[in-house]
């Protein structure tokens, strides 16, 4: 007897792809099997207590989490037995990550899971390996395995940055650029340099040269540049392409913003392949990393919920829940294509993983400010009509309304409003318009960049400063922010397509942009146990 893994809807991007034929049956690939955690009910209960603000609930340390929630040895043995029966090689077993990584040929995996693997091509993402047919598991693994990742190699995410293009700014605004430290000052970030903290940055392609990064920091007057370490996940590597418009731009933007604002923090960059398996394992590696021990994770990659398969999104969300349980803040860009998130179907979409309730979804604004003179105004980032992008945001189709968002309404651009029926995105915002963009350097060449990709590391660096000053991790801050909306600068003007900014939370800029000093005052947290 065999059981089928969680049924997947077919993402539209798959339906739009052209089948090119069979894969080479002798080609060797890697597949990640994600396993259930013991006592998952206890994990859910802890996270629910944290969401409710229970003063008796504190996040677990990495060591305590590993002790309580590592994969069951018997489940691992059953998975290894399954691999051996199908002549698959067990490459890696990590009980804390709750994964077993297998390798073998296409033919072996097709037989093991009763699927068909073929080559496909899509106009926007190129060629990839795809799967047809549900994944079949033997009865003894039906309740053990929660996801099988890597059978397909479809690129799962895109970076959310925008180089400043030569277009006229919306609303006649003046183009002004900022260094990351200038923005930290304008937003009132508390003094500090993030000493003793580690910021994890997830990258799904591209790379950097250390000399270019150091040159950028020296140009800002940072005499001692941050320590930047690479963490290879699977086949991911620091591989610069030399293309500023490609993933190299994302890598540089993330490292330079986080490092310039928190220069004494360690920056750990997790390089992974751009697939659902690579993306999930990169975040999993950061969450479980006992060497670098990041207290905050910055993610500037994502894709519309509609392109994610159910088993992959569910597995990813459990990893993000584990981060929340361990007091790790995860900041993710909400997207740069407004309320449609880049899908040209006339419908509204939100970006995942920003839409996960365990993630701080980071939206975009356009900032009216001058260094040294303060903020004069701030509106929703929307240069979409001029080809310059707009902040992503809207209402999830995957996740229910979290406890801390219940009772909210969502304002629409047509002047109406409605109750928030599912998880609302984003939670917070920050400067993202390329017209009021960040002064960075890509491969040694100065550039001005924007996008919600810049907002995620901006918030990550703020959290690192707060953590360093408090001597403890702020952790999963979403519940606290919704209890103290006055700690943010409310943005009430503009729209991102379907949705409008409004007083309080909205689906364009969330609760607003940071007021660093007020946020530091509310985010002190007891040490993890």
Active site amino acids:
250, 254, 453
Per-residue tokens: 503: 């007083």
d(CA 287, CA 318): 11
Per-residue tokens: 271: 């390089």
What count of other Cβ atoms lies within 10 Å of the Cβ of residue 505?
A: 25
Q: How many residues does the chain have?
A: 529
Check: CB of residue 75 under 8 Å from CB of residue 34: no
Burial of 380 (0-12, 13-18, 19+ CB in 10 A): buried
What count of other Cβ atoms lies within 10 Å of the Cβ of residue 406?
A: 11
Residue 221 φ/ψ region, left for φ over 0, alpha for ψ in the -120 to 50 degree band, beta for the rest: left
Check: CB of residue 92 under 8 Å from CB of residue 99: yes
Closest CA to 237 of 268, 204, 261, 200: 204
- For tokens 């941050």, the residue is 226
Secondary structure of 91-160 as H, E, C letters: EEEECCCCEEEEEEEHHHHHHHHCCEEEEEEECCCEEEEEEECCCEEEHHHCCCEEEEECCCCCCCCEEC
Order of strands, edge to edge, in the sheet holding 162-163?
A: 162-163, 445-450, 438-442
The torsion angles phi and psi of 366, rounded to 5 degrees, stand at: -115, 125
Per-residue tokens: 480: 């606290």
The torsion angles phi and psi of 257, rounded to 5 degrees, stand at: -70, -50
Which residues are bridge partners to 305 per DSSP? none
**Which own/partner pairs from 77-80 qualify as long-range (CB within 8 Å, at least 24 positions apart)?**
78/140, 78/141, 78/144, 79/33, 79/35, 79/141, 79/144, 79/145
Local structure of residue 312 (DSSP, 8 states): H
């Amino acid at each position: 007897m065999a059981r089928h893994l969680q049924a997947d809807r077919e993402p539209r991007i798959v339906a739009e792809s052209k089948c090119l034929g069979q894969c080479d049956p002798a080609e060797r690939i890697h597949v990640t099997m994600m396993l259930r955690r013991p006592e998952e009910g206890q994990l859910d209960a802890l996270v629910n207590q944290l969401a409710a603000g229970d003063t008796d609930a504190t996040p677990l340390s990495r060591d305590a989490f590993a002790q309580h929630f590592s994969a069951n040895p018997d489940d691992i043995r059953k998975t290894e037995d399954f691999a051996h029966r199908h002549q698959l090689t067990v490459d890696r077993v990590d009980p804390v990550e709750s994964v077993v990584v297998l390798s073998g040929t296409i033919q072996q995996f097709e037989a093991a899971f009763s699927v068909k693997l073929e080559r496909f091509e899509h106009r926007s993402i190129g060629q990839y390996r795809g799967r047809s047919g549900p994944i079949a598991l033997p009865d003894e693994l039906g309740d053990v395995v929660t996801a099988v990742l890597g059978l397909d190699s479809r690129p799962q995410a895109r970076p959310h940055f925008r180089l400043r293009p030569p277009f006229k700014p919306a609303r006649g605004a003046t183009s002004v650029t900022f260094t990351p430290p200038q923005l930290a000052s304008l937003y009132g970030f508390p003094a500090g340099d993030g000493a003793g903290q580690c910021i994890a940055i997830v990258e799904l392609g591209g790379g950097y040269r250390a000399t270019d990064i150091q040159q950028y920091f020296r140009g800002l007057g940072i005499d001692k540049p941050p320590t930047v370490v690479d963490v290879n996940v699977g086949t991911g590597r620091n591989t610069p392409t030399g293309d500023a418009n490609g993933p190299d731009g994302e890598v540089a933007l993330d490292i330079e913003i986080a490092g310039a604002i928190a220069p004494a923090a360690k920056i750990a960059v997790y390089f992974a392949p751009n697939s659902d398996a690579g993306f999930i394992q990169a975040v999993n590696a950061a969450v479980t990393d006992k060497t670098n021990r990041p207290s905050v994770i910055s993610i500037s990659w994502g894709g519309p919920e509609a392109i994610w398969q159910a088993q992959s999104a569910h597995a990813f969300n459990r990893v993000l829940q584990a981060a929340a349980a361990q007091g790790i803040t995860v900041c993710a860009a909400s997207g740069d294509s407004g309320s449609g998130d880049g899908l040209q179907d006339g419908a509204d979409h939100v970006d995942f993983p920003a839409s996960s309730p365990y993630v701080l979804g980071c939206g975009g604004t356009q900032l009216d400010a001058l260094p040294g003179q303060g903020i004069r105004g701030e509106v929703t980032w929307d240069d979409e009509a001029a080809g310059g992008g707009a902040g992503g945001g809207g209402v999830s189709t995957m996740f229910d309304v979290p406890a801390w968002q219940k009772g909210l309404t969502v304002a629409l651009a047509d002047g109406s409003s409605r109750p928030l029926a599912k998880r609302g995105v984003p939670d917070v915002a920050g400067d993202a318009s390329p017209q009021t963009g960040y002064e960075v350097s890509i491969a040694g060449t100065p550039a001005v960049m924007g996008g919600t990709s810049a907002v995620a590391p901006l918030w990550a660096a703020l959290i690192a400063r707060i953590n360093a000053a408090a001597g403890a991790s702020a952790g999963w801050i979403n519940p606290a922010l919704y209890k103290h909306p006055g700690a943010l600068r409310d943005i009430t003007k503009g729209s991102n397509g379907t949705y409008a900014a409004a007083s309080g939370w909205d689906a364009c800029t969330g609760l607003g942009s940071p007021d660093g000093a007020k946020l530091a005052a509310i985010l002190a947290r007891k040490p993890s146990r």
